[in-house]
Amino acid sequence: MDKETLLTRKRYNRTAQFYDIMDRMIKPDLRKKVLSEAEGKVLEVGVGTGKNLEYYSPDCQVIGIDLSPGMLAKAKAKAQRLQVNISLQEMDAQELQFPDHFFDTVVATCVFCSVPDPIKGLKEIKRVCKPGGKVLLLEHVRSENPVLGKIMDIMDPITVRLVGPHINRRTVENIAKAGLRIKYIEDRYFKILKSIQAAP
């Protein structure tokens, strides 16, 4: 594991205790809408504290991975409280320990702002998703507004050190660079939050 990945894990172990209070960007109705599209064998990359767990269909077979043991401990407690059947594993999104074409659906919400090499992680998603499968992403991105985008660039080093995520990632471009085919994008909050469905 490289230095940046280790630092990312350390940051999220630190923020795990208050992450649910801090993470209010994605409203429950939007999570429910996006996750209603998940089906079959599902991989959630960056399961975090388990904020998505209650929105999966009981018919889904869900595996949730996260780089942070602290986050996974929170997700495990939440899964037990909700009585959700999910397998939770510590794993790096950049090096997924699954065979090619293994999942029907891959989900990530506000994850690729934090993966040290986002294109590598997105390529891994493409690899493990079945050719006819779905990739469901909810990601905050750098603003398209020139002024706000520049402010986000200036603020980015501070947010990374204090909390963990990069606020100026160009995730739509990274998805294309990883070779995923974007099927649709729905914009929220002045186009800073994007709901994206893609396919291998």
pTM above 0.85, yes or no: yes
- The predicted pLDDT at position 185 comes to 95
pLDDT tens figures, 48-60: 999 999 999 999 9
CA-wise closest residue to 5 among 52, 46, 43, 62? 46
Least confidently predicted of 25-29, 33-37, 134-138, 179-183: 25-29
- The predicted pLDDT at position 3 comes to 82
- The predicted pLDDT at position 81 comes to 93
For 3-199, give the CATH class.
Answer: alpha beta
Higher pLDDT, 162 or 155: 155
List Cβ neighbours of 129 (8 Å cut-off, separation of 6 or more): 43, 101, 102, 103, 104, 105, 106, 135, 199, 200
User: What is the residue extent of each domain of the chain?
Assistant: 3-199
- Over range 28-48, report the average pLDDT: 95
pLDDT tens figures, 72-127: 999 999 999 999 889 999 999 999 999 999 999 999 998 998 899 999 999 999 99
DSSP state of 54: G
